[in-house]
Every structure is written in structure tokens, then in C-alpha cells.
Amino acid sequence: MENLEQFPQRNKSVVSVGDWIITMILMLIPVVNIIMLFIWAFGGGTAESKSNWAKASLIFMIIGIVLTVVFWGAFAATIASSMN
């Protein structure tokens, strides 16, 4: 029999509707939302579904930031080239 103590137990508890409502309200608060996403994504004790959701949200934020930088960079380059 394997030694199961070496494997951490995942929190597979169900996240209730009330918990999701509180989560969505917290996501409306600037700065707090980013901090909470990191806590939920990488902190211990968070339900696995909520942790996965937080990780996916962080990935989408990074994609959005990269696309915004690329868009504004292209826009600034277009403006700069039209001035010459």
C-alpha cells in the first residue's frame, strides 16, 4: 500500500451560491480583486473549483494586459509614423 501522507489532500468542497456572490462582489473592488485572485489561486484551503477559476481569471488578465499593450503600441506607432 502506498504512503498517502506524501500527497496533499485537495479541497473538493462545493462552493455555494452565497460564496460565489461574495466572490463576485470582491471582484468589483480594485486592487482587492487581484490580491484575492492570487490568494484563491495559490493559497491553501480554497476549494479546487474556486482555485481553478482564480487561475483562469489571472491568465485572462495577463492576456488582456498583453493585448492592450500591443494595441496601444501599434496605435502609438501609427500616430508617430503619420507625423513624419
> What is the chain written as a DSSP string?
---GGGSPPP--PPPPHHHHHHHHHHHTSTTHHHHHHHHHHHSTTS-HHHHHHHHHHHHHHHHHHHHHHHHHHHHHHHHHHHH-
Domain membership of residue 34 (yes or no) is yes
Q: Which domain holds residue 24?
A: 16-83
Residue 25 lies in a domain: yes
Which grid cell sits at 59?
A: 491568465
**According to the model, what pLDDT value does residue 51 have?**
95
pTM over 0.75: yes
Per-residue confidence (pLDDT) for residue 6, from 0 to 100: 67
**More confidently predicted of 12 and 41:** 41
Q: In whole angstroms, what is the distance from residue 32 CA to residue 44 CA?
A: 18
Say whether pLDDT at 28 is over 80.
yes
**Has residue 1 been placed in a domain?**
no
Number of domains in the chain: 1
Residue 8 in domain: no
Confirm whether 7 is domain-assigned: no
Domain assignment present for residue 4? The answer is no
Residue type for position 50: K
Higher-confidence position of 13 and 57: 57
